[in-house]
Structure 1
Amino acid sequence: MKSKEVVIAFYEAMKARDYKTMASLYTINAVFSDPVFPSLSGFEAGKMWEMLLKSAKDMSVEYKVLDHGKESARVRWTALYTFSKTGRKVRNEVVSTFEILDGQIMTQRDRFNFGAWSRQALGFLPWLLGFTGITRKKVQESAERSLNDFIRGKN
């Protein structure tokens, strides 16, 4: 598959809540990062998508491929969902950059405004504390713990 076909397959699978297809698109030594999960392996990224898609019952996704080359792609996507830990509605706008090799994702770097996300997902006070970095660190620690529990079947 070409890079554009890979990212289209990835986001169409996300829209269909097909985490198995999403996971299959990562190489075994892939790397994923975003403001909440700063460093995941391909296996962990697949499990993260499974956990997120299973917990966000009302998630909808729209995306647009911004550009693509032989082994790269950049996608802007928006997810609308209810954050399961607080019950708050979130609209997260993300730009993802991909490095693709032999039809699979080697790296995926998702960028979004953590402050805007945290205000929607967590409320005003955590958002305010986010300027000190406390909120981001706590969110990352909680997300890592949740993912590890999910992988071990403790959720």
Structure 2
Amino acid sequence: MRPEETLQSLYAAFARLDAAAMAACYVDDAMFDDEVFSLHGRREVAGMWTMLCEAARAQGDGWRLVVEGVQARDGVGRAHWQAWYRFGDTGRPVHNCAEASFTFASDGRIARHRDRFAFWRWSRQALGLPGVLLGWSPMLRDKVRVQAAANLRRHLARTSGDALARAARG
């Protein structure tokens, strides 16, 4: 697959909250980094997308994704995306805007993915008053990162257990 096709597949899957199709766009040793997560390996990246897609579906309607400026050539790519959703922990509406950058493996899948977004803007929407008052501070950013990492660890443990249970049932 060509890198631009990979990005088109990634964002089409994201729009329909299809984490499995998103995971297929990454190499096994992929790296993902944004203002909240710093992940290594497709297992962690896929786990994050699965967790986020499940949370968006659980919040009901309101999920929407718009992607613009998808470009890929010479082993690198970029895109701009906007998502509208309700933040799972608070139920507050969020409109997040991100700039994504990518590097690709020789087979066209994603090796590195970096999303950049304005954390303070996001935290004001997602967290309300704490985000307004402390969203600019490294303390709140670190707290959010620690909580997100713990949520992902629990999610991965639960889904690994689910996979083992399915395998045991045959």
TM over 0.5: yes
1:129 Cα offset (Å): 1.6
2:138 maps to 1:133: yes
1:82 Cα offset (Å): 0.3
Judge conservation of contact 2:86–2:93 (CA < 8 Å) in 1.
yes
Amino acid in the other structure paired with 2:4: K
Q: Which of 46, 63, 66 is the aligned partner of 1:62?
A: 66
Greater CA drift, 125-134 or 85-94: 125-134
Judge conservation of contact 1:2–1:70 (CA < 8 Å) in 2.
no
Amino acid in the other structure paired with 1:7: L
1:75 paired residue number: 79
2:37 maps to 1:33: no
1:112 paired residue number: 117
2:5 paired residue number: 5
Structure label with greater radius of gyration: 2
1:39 Cα offset (Å): 3.4
2:149 maps to 1:144: yes
Amino acid in the other structure paired with 1:44: E
Greater CA drift, 84-93 or 95-104: 95-104
TM-score, normalised relative to structure 1: 0.94
TM-score, normalised relative to structure 2: 0.86
In structure 1, list runs of 5 or more residues that go unmatched.
none
Amino acid in the other structure paired with 2:21: T
1:66 Cα offset (Å): 4.2
2:167 paired residue number: none
Instruction: Provide the aligned C-alpha RMSD in A.
Output: 1.4
Aligned pairs, number: 154
| % same residue | 35
1:100 Cα offset (Å): 0.9
Greater CA drift, 82-91 or 37-46: 37-46
Judge conservation of contact 2:29–2:40 (CA < 8 Å) in 1.
no
Secondary structure of 2:32's partner?
strand
Amino acid in the other structure paired with 1:30: A
Q: Which of 64, 88, 91 is the aligned partner of 2:92?
A: 88
In structure 2, list runs of 5 or more residues that go unmatched.
160-170
Judge conservation of contact 2:119–2:136 (CA < 8 Å) in 1.
no
Amino acid in the other structure paired with 2:129: F
Judge conservation of contact 1:65–1:73 (CA < 8 Å) in 2.
no
Deviations 1:70-125 (A, max 9, x none): 31110000110000100100000011101111121000000000000000000122
